[in-house]
Amino acid sequence: LGTLFFNIYGEEFWWRGYILPRQELKFGKWTWLVHGVLWASFHSFWWWDVLAILPGALVMSFVAQRTRNTTPGIIWHWINNGLTVIVLLLGILGLTM
């Protein structure tokens, strides 16, 4: 849970709280597109999953830019990563269907 906490808040505050507003100075209304592609690329250590991450990265970048708020990204991150951890733990415990 600690790793999940720091991963989510660290990524959201760094990427959408700090980097995105600075990118807006350069890219204006298209920042969400640049930011989303860069954020998905940041996850290239999961090279097999980058294309699956890209749509969510673009949507979250768009929402963060329009609302000027990191809360939607934090909520989405908790749902997405939290469900992944739950499914993983269920698999480890042998409680899958």
pLDDT, one tens digit per residue, over 33-85 is: 999 999 999 988 888 889 999 999 999 999 999 999 999 999 999 998 888 88
* pTM (two decimals): 0.82
3-state secondary structure the chain: CHHHHHHHHHHHHHHHHHHHHHHHHHHHHHHHHHHHHHHHHHCHHHHHHHHHHHHHHHHHHHHHHHHCCCHHHHHHHHHHHHHHHHHHHHHHCCCCC
